């Protein structure tokens, strides 16, 4: 079986806290009609990604690119279709109950809309205490931990007795972070942590996240569509397009010198925050992100790619490692130089 082969070749690197090796997550949708053909939504397709402990990784991509599904697979909220999530050397698909329970304390998540993931009928204190009680802590101790956790996110103790509707968006998001921190996790997955917030509050939350990361040596996976936020906080950037990871590398490299044509388009579409840059020549990517159901053959990006050649329409590009930490999925870099678009390759390096 293909799956087993992969397990044999896969080697765990102790530096990595999360390892994904050709991870796939497909959802089945039934096509209407007599034949009842099965169709797949390939939400996560062949993603190979390693996250080192203590890193902040930003995951970007347009809506429907599979970012959130990838996060859900890592959180083990849904099982992968093929391959496994390896967390701290433990393969989650084969983990026993005890290991799973430990995993649950080590990975925490913060969602986009803080108002909708706090129970409106519970006080802040009982929301924060709940995970502790579930993991069998005594009430008194849990209360103490909840207080400490609120301190970490720089909120006054008196908020312990508030209800979510009494708090502002920024406060709610800090409480969501406090709740995530209460079990002392190693990894936090943040799904659009600031996109519902105003700029001044966004700055507060981002600074808080950075401070906590330094203090507690956390690992973050931050999902967002705001490239300016990602540039500020992350060490590495992963770019997804229609279920595939197209580029993954250090923030500076990906922002200043993006390799994949999609990353280039995304970077130049991102709003500038300086009016003096507005007249700079800008490449605006045409087309729409497309759907995960009717995927194009070959490279998923080929219909929108200005460099697409014949080969891009038939074959699927593999991961190419430009350096230890920079990977890209594009034929332009695999060294074979196949395809009639060699001219374009030159214009890119000349840029």
Partner 1 sequence: MGDRLLKVENLCIDYKVKDGYLSAVNNVNFEIRKGEILAIVGESGCGKSTVAHSLLQLLAGGNAKVTGKAMFNDQNLLELKRQDIEKIRGHEIGMIFQNPLDSLNPVYTTGWQVAEGIQLDNVPKEEAWNRVVQLYKDVKMPDSESRAKSFPHELSGGMRQRVMIAMMLARRPELLIADEPTTALDVTIEAQILRIIKALRDDFDTAVMMITHNFGLVAEVADFVVVMYAGHVVETGTVFDIFDEPMHPYTSLLMKALPRIKKSEGRLQTIDGSVPRITGDFVGCRFANRCPYATEQCRTQEPPLVQVSDTHSYSCFREGGDK
Min dist. Cβ of residue 242 to partner 1 (A): 13
Pick between residue 142 and residue 205 the one whose CB is nearest to partner 1. Answer: 205
- 8 Å CB contact between 40 and 29: yes
Min dist. Cβ of residue 76 to partner 1 (A): 28
Pick between residue 271 and residue 335 the one whose CB is nearest to partner 1. Answer: 271
Min dist. Cβ of residue 287 to partner 1 (A): 8
Pick between residue 115 and residue 285 the one whose CB is nearest to partner 1. Answer: 285
Min dist. Cβ of residue 252 to partner 1 (A): 8
Min dist. Cβ of residue 348 to partner 1 (A): 19
Binding positions for partner 1, rule: CB under 8 A: 62-63, 168, 198-200, 202-204, 206-207, 210, 225-229, 231-233, 251-252, 265-266, 268-278, 282, 284-289
Which tokens belong to 142? 């849990």
Min dist. Cβ of residue 271 to partner 1 (A): 2
Pick between residue 35 and residue 278 the one whose CB is nearest to partner 1. Answer: 278
Pick between residue 96 and residue 274 the one whose CB is nearest to partner 1. Answer: 274
Pick between residue 252 and residue 310 the one whose CB is nearest to partner 1. Answer: 252
């Amino acid at each position: 079986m293909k799956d087993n082969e992969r397990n044999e070749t896969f080697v765990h690197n102790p530096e990595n806290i999360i390892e994904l090796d050709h991870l796939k997550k497909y959802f089945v949708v039934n096509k209407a009609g007599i034949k009842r053909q099965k169709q797949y939504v390939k939400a996560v397709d062949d993603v190979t990604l390693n996250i080192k402990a203590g890193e902040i990784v930003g995951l970007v991509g347009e809506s429907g690119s599979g970012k959130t599904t990838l996060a859900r697979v890592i959180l083990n909220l849904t099982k992968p279709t093929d391959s496994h999530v390896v967390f701290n050397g433990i393969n989650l698909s084969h983990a026993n109950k005890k290991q799973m329970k430990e995993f649950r304390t080590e990975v925490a998540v913060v969602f986009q809309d803080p108002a909708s993931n706090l129970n409106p009928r519970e006080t802040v204190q009982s929301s924060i205490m709940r995970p502790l009680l579930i993991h069998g802590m005594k009430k008194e101790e849990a209360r103490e931990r909840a207080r400490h956790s609120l301190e970490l996110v720089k909120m006054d103790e008196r908020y312990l007795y508030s209800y979510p509707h009494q708090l502002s968006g920024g406060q709610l998001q800090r409480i969501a972070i406090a709740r995530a921190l209460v079990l002392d996790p190693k990894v936090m997955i943040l799904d659009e942590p600031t996109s519902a917030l105003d700029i001044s509050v966004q700055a507060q939350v981002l600074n808080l996240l950075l401070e906590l990361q330094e203090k507690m040596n956390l690992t973050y996976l931050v999902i967002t569509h705001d490239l300016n936020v990602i540039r500020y906080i992350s060490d590495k950037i992963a770019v997804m397009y229609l279920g595939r990871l197209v580029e993954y590398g250090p923030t500076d490299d990906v922002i200043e010198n993006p390799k994949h044509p999609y990353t280039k388009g995304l970077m130049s579409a991102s709003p500038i925050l300086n009016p003096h840059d507005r007249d700079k020549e800008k490449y605006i990517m045409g087309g729409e992100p497309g759907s995960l159901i009717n995927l194009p053959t070959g490279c998923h990006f080929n219909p929108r790619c200005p460099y697409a050649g014949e080969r891009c329409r038939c074959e699927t590009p593999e991961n190419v490692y430009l350096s230890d930490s920079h990977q890209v999925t594009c034929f332009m870099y695999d060294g074979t130089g196949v395809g009639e678009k060699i001219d374009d390759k030159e214009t890119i390096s000349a840029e």
